[in-house]
Amino acid sequence: MLTPTVDYRRTAHRVPERPHQGLDAAVNWCIGRYQRRGARLTELLHSANLADARGSEFKDLRDHDLQEKLFALRDTFRREPTPDHDTMLAALAAVREAAHRCVGLRAFPVQLAGALALHRGCLAEMATGEGKTLTAGIAGVLAGWTRHPTHIITVNDYLAARDAEWLRPLYTFCGVRVGCVTAQLDAAGRAREYDRDVTYTTSKELLADFLRDRLRLGALRDPSRRLIRRMLQPRNAVADGLVQRGLHTAIVDEADSVLIDEAVTPLIISAPRKNELLREAGIYAAKIANELDSETDYRLNQRFREVELTDEGRQKIARRCDSLPGIWRGEARRTELVRIALTAREFFQRDRQYILADGKVVIVDEFTGRPMPQRTWREGLHQAIEAKEGLEITDPSETIARMSFQRFFRCFHRISGMTGTAWEAAGEFWQIYGLPVVRIPTHRPCIREQWPDRFFAREFDKWNAILEDIEQLHAKRRPILVGTRSVAASEKLAGLLRGRGMEFHLLNASRLAEEATIIAIAGERGRITIATNMAGRGTDIRLGSGVAEIGGLHVIATERHESGRVDRQLFGRAGRQGDPGSAQAFVSNEDELLRRYLPKPLSGALNSGGTTFSATAVRLAQRQAQHLAFKQRKAVLRADAWLDEALSFAGE
Amino acid sequence: MADPTSTFSESWYRVANQRLCLRPGVRVRRQNFRGERWFVLENPFTNEYFRIRPEAYEFVARLDPRRTVEDVWRECLEKHPDDAPGQEAVLQLLSQLYFSNLLQYDQATDATNLFERFKKRQQREWRSRLLNIMFMRFPLLDPDRFLVRTLPVVGKSISWFGAILWLVVVSAGIKVVADNWDAAKQQSQGILTPENLPLLYVGMILIKAIHEFGHAFICRRFGGEVHTMGIMLMIFTPMPYVDASSSWSFRSRRQRILVGAAGMIVELFAAALLAFVWANTGQGTLHSLAYNMMFIASVSTVIFNANPLLRFDGYYILSDLIDIPNLTQRANKHLRHLAERGLFGLTKSESPARTTSEASWLTVFGISSGIYRLFVFAGILILVADQFFLIGIVMAVVCFISWVTVPIFKFIKYLASSPLLDRHRPRAVAVSIALAAVLIGVLQFTPFPSHFRAPGVVQGREWTQVVNETSGSIVEILTPPGQLVRAGQPLVRLESKELELAIAQARAQQVEIETRLRAVVSKDASGIKPLRELLGSVTNRVAKLVTDQNSLTVRARHDGLWIAPELKDARTRWLARGTPMGLLVNPATFQFTATVRQEEAQALFSQKLTGAEIRLHGQAGRTLATKQWEVIPGGQRTLPSPALGWQAGGEMPVAADDKQGVRSAEPFFEVRAALPASEEIALLHGRSGKIRFDQPWEPLLPRWIRSLRQMLQKRYQL
C-alpha cells in the first residue's frame, strides 16, 4: 500500500544549504573547530567503555531472550531515532553481543566508539584492519531499526556483496532486513533490495538509481504534485518502476575517497547519439595541433594545465582553416578546438592519465590508479585524445542527467563515514558535508616505523637510491611494497628491477586480474610488490609466517602524492593491527608535485638546500596542492548551486 | 563559472530539450550605442530591463515553444558560425532572462526556489539601502495614472511652442536678475544663515517636487511608464524622487537626454518665474521664499544636478551624450582593467571599451569622478560627524565602513581569491603592497607645506581716540575726517553755553572781589588776607574755565590720519566729557591683530613657525609677508573687532547673549603681527583679513590624525 507519506518520503531529500560565504563561513569554521574538539573523542570512548561494561547484562541471555530485548530496542529506535543515552548504551551492548554470536567477532570498545560516532553523524577515522566492516554493521543495525532508508556505501561491488553477506546473520538476528545492490542487478531486484531496511551498495549504483528514478518521474518529482495527480487521475499510475525509497541515512566507507577525491566527478546518465559536428571537429583539430610547435606557436602552463596560443600560432591556425567548413571560420571556436587538442597532447599521457584497452581510451583514476571504464572526459577532450591516439572517435554520448557525488551526498539527512585518513581534510568534511571528524585510536598501538623522507636533486639519483634500498631490504628477506604514482612509473621501476635480475610482482591498471593473488602473497618473506596507488586504499596485506620477527612489511613510496592522505594510505599498508612494519618516501626535486606546486624561485633554491628545507618544501607543495584542489571543488559546488538556481526553469 | 566562450557545455542537457520563449508582452526595442546595435528587452509588468547584443538577440528571437533550445541553437550556429553564442553563453543568457522574469517556460517553477529568490532580493535591497544610507529611498506611490490623466493638458507644453516660451521666460528671468544683480548678490550672503534655513528647505522641497514631475511628465509623454514616486533621504534630508528609468529603453537618444534634462529645464523655468516675484515684492516671507527657491532652482541645479560626476541628472545626460550606458560601472571596470593589465600583468584582462575613444572617455570619467566622489564623500562624512553629534558619529562610522572598509576588504578578497589573478597573484599582491606602502610612506613621511590660518583685523599700531576734554555740542568740523593732520591742528570745535556763562559768572565774581579788596585796603587791613585768597581761587577758576573753553576746540595730539566716520551725525549733539569722536591713527605703523583658535594654539606656541603671510579681504591676491609678531599669552575673550565675530559674518563664534558681538564663545589667543608698509595695499584701520602662519613642513598623515583627534575631543569630549 502506497500511502501518501511513504510516497512523499520516496523522493523527499534534504535540500542542501548553499555553501557559506563571508562572515557565515567564518562562524561555520569556528563551529567546525569546536565540533572536532578532543573532548568529543574522550566522551565517545567513555560511552564505549560504559557499553562495554554493560556487556554482562546480555552475555548470559539465551538467544531468544536476547532477540526479544533487541526487538524491544528496535521499537524504541523506530519511535525515537536518537534515544536517551542509557538506551543507546544498552543497544550498543546488545548488538555487540548479537554480533559476537552471529559472526563470531567481539567488537572492541574502540569499535563501539566508532559505531557510536557513526550513529551521531560523525566521520570516524579508523585505521585499516581495525574492523571497519563490523563497526559499520553495528551502526547499520541501529540505523536500520529506525526504518529510515539506510545505505551503507562501499568502494566496490565485491565489498558490498561480501559485507552484506557476512553481516546478514547479524542483521537478521537483530530484526533488520538487509539488502545489497550491485551492478548486475536488474530493476526489479534493485527495487526489492532498496526496500530493505539497510542496503549495501556503491556510491555509483546509488546515485545512478537516484538519477534514473528522477528521470522516470520527470516533473512529478515533486511529491505534492504527484499527490494531486493521483487524486485527479486515480487510474493513471504514477511513479511506477521506481527503485529507491528515499534518501535518509548514509554510512560511507572510505569516506575521503568518495566524498573528496572523487566527489566532483559527476555521474552521468547518458544515451549515445550521433554528433558528426564534434567528430569531424576532433579529427581536424588533432591534425592542426600536430602542425603546431611548442614555444613558437603555443606555451604551456604546467601548474594550471593550460595551453596558451601565441599570435604566431593563431595565424598558423587561421591559414590552415581557410579551407575548412563552417565551425572553423570563427576565431573563437577554432582556437578552442585546437586548444583542446593541444591539451590532450601535452597534458594527457598514455599510462598516466589513461590506458588503451580494446582499442578504447580508458581513464585511470589519479588517486587510486584504477581504470575507470565508464568515465569520460568533458565534451571534446575525450574525442581529442582518441584522435591523438588514432583511434576511432566515439560519439560523445548525450547527457540526460548528471550529478556530482558532492552534491548527491549533501542531500542526505544523516551522513556519516569511516576512513583511514580523514584528519588532513577535516576542514573540507565540515564545510561541505557538515561532518565533524573524530579520530578513533587503534585497538593496539601502531608500531610502524616512519623513516624520514629521502631527498634527491635529480630523479635519476632517486631511482638508483630506491633500487639500492630495495636490494638491501630484500637481502634481509623482508617483504617490500613499492608504491608508484602512475602506471608508467611502475613499468619503469619494473624495467629497472628486471635489469638487476630481481624477482617481483607488478600490480597496475593493466594487470587487474591478478590483484587478489598478488596481494594475498605480498606479505610473505622476500616478496617485492610494485603497485600503483591502487594498492593503497583498503587492501589488507597480511604478513606471512615469520615476517613479523624480521621487521614486517616495508613500504616505499617512490614519490609524494599531492594529497598527504594518499601517502598515508600507502604507508598504512605496513604495521596493521599492531604488526611491526616500516615506511619511507623518496622525493626528488624533479617530481611532479614539487614542479607543479612550488613557486619557481623556491624550487631553484631547493637544489642547494638541505633536508629540513626539502621536507618543508614537500609539506608546502602538498598544502598548496590540497588548497588548490579544495578551492576547485568548492568552486564546482558553487557553480552547481548557481546553475540549479539559474536553470530552475528547466527543472533539475 | 565555466568559460563563457566555450562552444560546448556540460550542463547543456538541462536546457537542450526545453521549449522556451520570451514572455508574451515583453517589449523589444533597438538602441544604438556608439554605432553598435543593442536590444533592450522590457518586462512591462515588473519594469525590468535587460540589454543584449544582437548575436544573443538573434538567438532569443528564434526561441519558439514549437522548437527545442537545441534546435534553435543549431540553427543559429549554422547561420552565423562565428557570432552565434556557444552553449555556455546560451546557458548564461537564458538564466539571466529567467532572473529578469522575461522567460516563458512550460515547466512549473519550483515555488520554494522562487520564494528563496524573492527573499534574497529583499535582503539585497535592504542591504543596499543600508549601504546607501546617505541616499536612502522610500517608494510611496504610483503616479502613472495621474500622469496619464493630466498629460493631455500638461503635454501641450512639451512642444516647440513650449520650448520657445521657455526660452523667452528664462531670458526674461535672467534679465530681471541681472538688473537686480546687486540685491541678488547681497541677499545670497544670508542664504545659509540659521534663520533662513527652514525657508530654504521649504523652497527646496517645492522646487524638487516640480523637478521630479518634470522628469515624470516628459518620460510619460514619450511613452515610458512611471510607477514609482517616493521620498529619498539625502543626507537625512527628505527629498522627493521619481523613478523614470523606463526612459532607458527609449530608442531615441534625444528623448532619453530630454527626460534626463527635464528636471533642470522645469527648474530653470520656475526660477525665471520666481525671479519676477522676487523682484516685484517688498521685504517679507514671500519675497524671501521666492529668492530662496530661485536660488535653488538655478544655482544648486547647475552645481549638483548638471554635474555628471555624481549620479544625478547630469550623469545620465552625459552617458547618453557620449553614448556609453552604465558609465560608472564601465568606467570602474575599465580602470580595473588598466590596473590589471598595467600593474598586475594580466594580459588576458579585457577592457569593456570597444573603441579607443570610448576607452579614453571611460578613463577620464573614471578618474575624475573617482576623485570627485572621494571629496564629496569625505565632505559628507565630516559634515555628518560634525552636525549630528553622537548619532553623527555612528552614521559616520557606517559611512566609513561602506565607503572605505568594505571596498578595501573587497579588494583584499579580490587579491586573495579572485580566480582571474590565479597566475599573477604574487605580482598583484606585491604591486598592491608596494603601492599601499608608497602611499602610506608619502603620507607618513614626506613633509608637505603646513599652514594654519586665523582671522584678524588691521589696526594702527599708534592710534589714539580723539575725545573732547570738555562737554559741549559740536558746532563746526574744522578738519574733515579722512585727512592727514599735524599735531595741534584743530579738528572739531565744540560750543558750550554753560561754560561761557560759568566764565562770565567767574569773571564777574573776580571783579566783585577786586572791588571789595580795594575798599578793604583803605579801611580794614585785617580783612585783606581772606579776600586775597578768595581772589586767587576765583582767578584760578577763571583760568581753568578758559582753558576748558580753549579745549572745546579739539586738536590733533599727534600727526596722523583723522578718522571719524560717525562725526557727521553727531553734529549739534551734546557730548559729555570724554566721548570718543574718532581716531587718530599713525599711518606709518599698522599691525594685524589676529585671533587664533585654541586648536592651533599648540602650533602657535611651538616656536617653530617660520613665517606668516597676511591677506586682506578684497585684495586676497596680494600677500604681505611678515616675520615679526607677538602672541599675547593667556586666552582672551574680547574680539579686537566685532567684524571677526559670527554676528557680523566673521568666523569666530561669539556668545549668543552678547549684543555687541565681541565676546567670543571660547577663549582665543591674540596675535599682533607687524605689517610692512605696502604701496599696493591700502592699510586701513579696521580692515579685516587673514593671517597664514607657515609651519615647518610636516607629513600629512600625522596632521590628519591630529585634527581628527582634536575634532573628536572638541565635539564629544573624548
User: Over 80: is that where the pLDDT of B634 sits?
Assistant: no
Q: Residue B2: pLDDT band by 50, 70, 90 thresholds? A: very low
Q: Find the mean pLDDT for residues A289-307.
A: 78
Residue to substitute from B13, B69, B97, B115, interface A, most A β-carbons within 10 A: B13
How do beta strands B135-141 and B228-234 pair? antiparallel
User: Per the CB < 8 Å rule, is B108 touching A643?
Assistant: no
pLDDT recorded at residue B577: 81
CATH of B453-459+589-698, one of 3.40.50.150, 2.40.30.170, 3.40.47.10, 3.20.20.70: 2.40.30.170
Between B371 and A351, the higher pLDDT residue: B371
| pLDDT tens, position by position, B668-680 | 888 888 777 666 7
- Tell me which chain B residues have a C-beta less than 8 angstroms from the C-beta of A266: 10
- Tell me which chain A residues have a C-beta less than 8 angstroms from the C-beta of B419: 635
- State the smallest CA–CA distance between residue A106 and chain B in angstroms: 49
This model of the complex carries an ipTM of 0.76
pLDDT recorded at residue A341: 84
Of A304, A329, A635, the CB nearest to B82: A329
The CATH number of the structural domain formed by B13-107 is: 3.90.930
Q: Find the mean pLDDT for residues B476-505.
A: 85
- Tell me which chain B residues have a C-beta less than 8 angstroms from the C-beta of A635: 419
Q: Find the mean pLDDT for residues B258-286.
A: 87
User: Per the CB < 8 Å rule, is B94 touching A642?
Assistant: no
Direct distance between the N- and C-terminal alpha carbons of chain B, in angstroms, rounded to an integer: 50
Of the given ranges (A581-590, A623-632, B636-645), which has the lowest mean pLDDT?
B636-645
User: Per the CB < 8 Å rule, is A333 touching B86?
Assistant: yes
B201 in contact with chain A, both atoms CB, cutoff 8 A? no
Residue to substitute from B8, B69, B346, B422, interface A, most A β-carbons within 10 A: B8
Q: What is the grid cell recorded at B123?
A: 535582503
pLDDT recorded at residue A417: 93
Q: Which fold has domain B463-584?
A: OB fold (Dihydrolipoamide Acetyltransferase, E2P) (2.40.50)
3-state helix, strand, coil in chain A (%, to 5): 55, 15, 30
pLDDT recorded at residue A149: 92
Q: What is the strand order of the sheet A354-357 is part of?
A: A354-357, A360-364, A371-372
Q: Residue A172: pLDDT band by 50, 70, 90 thresholds? A: very high
Which residues contact residue B457 at a Cβ distance below 8 angstroms, ignoring those fewer than 6 apart?
A: B592, B593, B640, B641, B643, B644, B686, B687, B688, B689
How do the domains of chain B map onto residue ranges? 13-107, 130-321, 338-446, 453-459+589-698, 463-584
Domains of chain A (ranges, CATH numbers): 21-233+245-269+405-439 (3.40.50.300), 274-396 (3.90.1440.10), 449-588 (3.40.50.300)
Q: Find the mean pLDDT for residues A65-92.
A: 91
A379 in contact with chain B, both atoms CB, cutoff 8 A? yes
Q: Residue B441: pLDDT band by 50, 70, 90 thresholds? A: very high
| Collapsed DSSP state (helix, strand, coil) of residue B699 | coil
Interface subset of A 42-101, CB within 8 angstroms of B: none
- Tell me which chain B residues have a C-beta less than 8 angstroms from the C-beta of A401: 13
Between A145 and A449, the higher pLDDT residue: A145
Q: Residue A1: pLDDT band by 50, 70, 90 thresholds? A: low
pLDDT recorded at residue B364: 92
B423 in contact with chain A, both atoms CB, cutoff 8 A? yes
User: Over 70: is that where the pLDDT of A39 sits?
Assistant: yes
Are B704 and B382 in contact by the 8 Å Cβ rule? The answer is: no
Between A49 and B105, the higher pLDDT residue: A49
- Give the mean pLDDT of chain B: 82
pLDDT recorded at residue B280: 85
- Tell me which chain A residues have a C-beta less than 8 angstroms from the C-beta of B88: none
Q: Residue B717: pLDDT band by 50, 70, 90 thresholds? A: low
Q: What is the strand order of the sheet A437-439 is part of?
A: A178-180, A198-202, A150-154, A249-253, A414-419, A123-125, A437-439
| pLDDT tens, position by position, B378-397 | 777 777 666 666 777 777 78
| pLDDT tens, position by position, A44-62 | 999 999 999 988 888 888 8
* % chain B with pLDDT above 90: 5
In B558-675, the DSSP E strands lie at 560-563, 574-575, 580-585, 590-596, 611-616, 619-626, 629-638, 663-675
User: Over 80: is that where the pLDDT of A28 sits?
Assistant: yes
Residue to substitute from B110, B124, B422, B424, interface A, most A β-carbons within 10 A: B110
pLDDT recorded at residue B438: 94
In B253-268, which positions are buried (b, 16+ CB within 10 angstroms) versus exposed (e)? eebbbbbbbbbbbbbb
Closest-CA residue of chain B to A647: B95
Q: Residue A176: pLDDT band by 50, 70, 90 thresholds? A: very high
Are A401 and A603 in contact by the 8 Å Cβ rule? The answer is: no
Cα separation of B596 and B593, whole Å?
10
Q: What is the strand order of the sheet B560-563 is part of?
A: B463-467, B580-585, B560-563, B484-485
User: Per the CB < 8 Å rule, is B10 touching A648?
Assistant: no
User: Per the CB < 8 Å rule, is A336 touching B98?
Assistant: no
pLDDT recorded at residue A595: 80
| A449-458, B168-177, B652-661: range with highest mean pLDDT | B168-177
| pLDDT tens, position by position, A102-159 | 988 888 999 999 999 999 999 999 887 788 889 999 999 999 999 899 999 998 888 8
- Tell me which chain A residues have a C-beta less than 8 angstroms from the C-beta of B81: 326-330, 333
Residue to substitute from A15, A24, A649, interface B, most B β-carbons within 10 A: A649
The whole-model pTM stands at 0.70
Closest-CA residue of chain A to B4: A332
User: Over 70: is that where the pLDDT of B193 sits?
Assistant: no
pLDDT recorded at residue B84: 79
Of B12, B16, B107, the CB nearest to A651: B107
- State the smallest CA–CA distance between residue A407 and chain B in angstroms: 15
Cα separation of B253 and B265, whole Å?
17
Q: Residue B138: pLDDT band by 50, 70, 90 thresholds? A: confident
pLDDT recorded at residue B1: 37
- Tell me which chain A residues have a C-beta less than 8 angstroms from the C-beta of B18: 649-650
Closest CA to B609 of B635, B636, B629, B592: B629
Cα separation of B476 and B492, whole Å?
6
Of B8, B81, B423, the CB nearest to A379: B8
User: Per the CB < 8 Å rule, is B14 touching A650?
Assistant: yes
pLDDT recorded at residue B589: 72
In A244-322, the DSSP E strands lie at 249-253, 266-271, 298-301, 306-309
Q: Find the mean pLDDT for residues B172-191.
A: 81
User: Per the CB < 8 Å rule, is B83 touching A330?
Assistant: yes
- Tell me which chain B residues have a C-beta less than 8 angstroms from the C-beta of A214: none
Q: What is the grid cell recorded at B499?
A: 561754560
Cα separation of B376 and B369, whole Å?
10
Cα separation of A216 and A645, whole Å?
22
Of the given ranges (A341-345, B194-198, B199-203), which has the lowest mean pLDDT?
B194-198
Q: Find the mean pLDDT for residues B358-364.
A: 90
Q: Find the mean pLDDT for residues B426-442.
A: 90
User: Over 70: is that where the pLDDT of B192 sits?
Assistant: no
Are B239 and B205 in contact by the 8 Å Cβ rule? The answer is: yes
Name the amino acid, one letter, at B647. Q
- Give the mean pLDDT of chain A: 84
Closest-CA residue of chain A to B423: A304
User: Over 80: is that where the pLDDT of A621 sits?
Assistant: yes
